[in-house]
Structure 1
């Protein structure tokens, strides 16, 4: 079985008899060995990983930017093509694993699941291939790919010619393996949120009929941290950014775990993992965040665990604090895409809505009459110690309060609100 799989991965010629033998072998292993489906899946993953490591070596052998991108796109193109072919002989494997894991579900549900497996997009083997590509090659050379692609974009801005397919190819490889990933809820900093409509509008103009998907758990950026010691550029994930920006309006405050969960809307596993990367980063002698009480594991964070920004943070070199520097906090932080409990996330959203409504009514009771701009400023001031409401949420709650007769718009100025007792 293994030689045929390796031939398929390498896009080598496979005879009709070999193709049929692969179907038969998979079918036999899955039906006659109780542990067969899992053994087969593990062996398949080993073969896929081994092939990807060989592809990675071929890509990294390239030193020049354009050659690196060409090599990556060529390897990715071959691999992605096989993502549509290799799952076909392994449908029995997918059916067997699904039936084992869903043994308590009715026959009707199992039948529906089997039908879904015929869809290559939902294939377990296809997802295994794309995830393995991401974990085994993409994570290791992601920064080199981004740097090389951005150099070409910069060259274009300077009037130099370049092959645009190199940048497009890298971008498409991002999107392909991302499609199988589950998106994770996060409340973006207002500084980022304000740009999203502009980006979406630009995308619509360039790509008619397409929809832009945001995968925040796969993105990162650079922020500047300034304190009395100096200024430092920090490469962070979007999740780390969301956590750190919770202190923008209250730099000296101590914020509890529960309030950070409310401010970021991150699922519990992601928030714990992200906070741990900021309080116990192995390369740092002075951590970016401090916390109390001290624990040995992120799972031990309690709702009342307090976190605060380390105002003495600095990069240490030769035993001396540096006034400037750059630090990559992303490192090997594994960002899982575990789905949080739907009820848990729903409760956070509902709590935010209630807090926003309460704050709006409190402001209107005091002011009786207020402009939209002034209302938003006061609202953010009241809520900043818990979370920063998005513009969308503020607008929705204003409309809800108007609809339920708690307030109304001024007849002569729609941007002025009047409290209704």
Structure 2
């Protein structure tokens, strides 16, 4: 029978089998030399065949496919001939490297095939995404990679993976091997994929998955045994070392190109098997490490647990518990000293803050989460009421109805007073040191819950310093006010302090005018009297004014002041606050002559002996002479009978008292004419002494008023804040209202739940708001 061939088939066989196309292509596959002319001829022949029609391209594609498969079959025989794992890997990598190199060159002459070949029928199913690839002229490259994958890779990939994982296992066990074997296997997995959408699919599904599995298997039993044999502290060293090793190993053996998250997955795997599975055992050591201040180990634990989900939270809780317990224990241990000495108290708080800050920095690298825990615990220490307790009255003015608060804000205000007024403490310090310590106070103040108490006491001390002119530096006084503004103190508080300085300047001008008027009248008191007229709105002293019988010179002086002020400011009323006044009197005794700085109350008591210096006066005599209330009279007498800085007291009492409560109606008082001032062990015949102490601005009634004023102002603040919130929200639940209220007032004080409830009821009663008819826990604002 005569065979009849199609013209295209005849032409193709002439070109492929009997021509140069097949031999040149085969030499390229075997990496044999090809001349420049042959290389160019191959381009022309491919172009010529592809230009015939679709059947020419199909014939060329099939012939090239058979040639490639035949070549790969030879490679497969050479690779499978090795039984040893290392030899198998070397043979495979050697064949793959040569084949993959030709994947870059062979497709070039066949570019026209990729551009013209159209699959049809069964070829479409077989080639998959060939049509998509052909648009980029990558048909032949895909054909080569897919053929390698189907022929050799799919049949031995299991052995390749196992061999590579065994080598990595050997490396983890300390044995040496040629790392290029594993790297070569990895590269073949990466480069084999011809999927344009996911070029790492083969690598991810095979090599990466096998690597993660082998890692987990290797450490699963080893880590548990190491922890049991060596304990947590040594295990942390082991885990840290292995994590570092595995990250470095992953950099060598896993794919790091864009689109690969192998390193992240491997790190997560090692963290899980080395740390997460033993998290509880590791964290159990944290409290003891914190107690012993083992910062190096804590930092190592922090670094490890930071890799574990929720691993940091138990460490933060341990730190917070330690700071709270340790801080309170420290404060209680030296309570006797620090409750009476503001300087020691502030030093102790600063020492605790420095200690815990250093711990957080060294052990936890100033992680903001641990800084938050430090702040929370330190705030608990600062506001603790077990050691430092301030009783604020409630509406029911009974001894049992009080709400305890920390005395911290009061002690901080007292310490500021020590630094800002002329005192023994401030004289020992330079200007920069005073400023530094004031900054320290402001640091602690940030942790104080009830800042309104600090502002009350600070304002009271500032009032004393301004009236007595005892400030060390007026510029620092004004700077302190601005610093309070910077740390978030409420603006209305700070503005009132600023107005006090303005008031003093206005009062100074007024005093100068008054003295000039007295000089014009040739008044003898012009040079010895200083007038301070202060605005009640800025200074807001208590309404209580203590009655006292003034010396005649002062009593006669008062009408002149009132007349002068009436002429300057018609319609304004002057109120005399004698407990805020002071003066200097001269005492002449048997030893010498001394100038004594005294309060007006002390002056009134001492003037009782002016006409009878050697008499003994009873408590009743002094009460009639001074007209002071009994409580104030006893306090004033005590300051003259038992002044702590004097070895020889100004007044003597019979019988000798131990406290002001020991003053009875039959107690007798007399002037000590042997009164003398002793400095550096030497008797002084001349000198000046300050008896004012802390009495001039506070009476028993005014102190009670101060505390009641704090509570009264809090009530108004709560009412104001509730109305402001409801006006903005219109409708709000009880829980949401309380949350917003606390957030709004936290810079001044933390309102008690009882106070909030009482003020809500008060506002409802006075028609500022009402409860929702169908929901009693929802409030509605009434315009």
Larger radius of gyration: 2
Structure with the largest fraction of helix: 2
Q: TM-score, normalised by structure 2?
A: 0.26
Scaled by the length of structure 1, what TM-score is found?
0.46
Q: Point out which structure has higher relative CO (alpha carbons under 8 A, 6+ apart).
A: 1
